[in-house]
Chain A
Amino acid sequence: MIEPGAVISTSALTKRFKDVDAVAGVDLRVPAGGVYGFLGPNGSGKTTTIRMLVGLMRPSRGVAALFGEPVQAGSAVLDRVGALVERPAFYPYLSAIDNLRLLGFTRGMTESRLRAAVPEALDRVGLTEASKRKAGRYSTGMRQRLGIAAALLGRPELVILDEPANGLDPSGVVEVRQLIQGLARDGITVFLSSHVLPEVEQLCQRVAVLQKGRVIAEGETQAMLQKGERLQVRFDSADEAHRAVPILASIGATTPAESDAALYLDAPADRGSEVSRTLAGAGLYPAELSLHRQTLEAVFIELTGDHVPPAASGAAPAAPAGPTGAEP
Chain B
Amino acid sequence: MPDPDPLDALRDALGATPAPEARTPDCLDDDTVAALAAGTIDAAARVHALSHLATCPRCRHAVASVARALADPAVAREVAVAERGGRRLRYGVALSAAAGVLLLLVGPRLLDLGRPVHRAPPPTGAVPVPASPVGVVADADTLRWVAVPGADRYRVTLFDAPGAVLYETQLADTVAVLPDSLVLVPGRPYLWKVEARTGWDRWSPSELVEFSLAPLRGAPQ
- Our verdict on whether A and B bind, yes or no, reads no
User: B residues within 8 Å of A by Cβ?
Assistant: none
Q: What is the interface of chain A, defined by CB distance below 8 A to chain B?
A: none
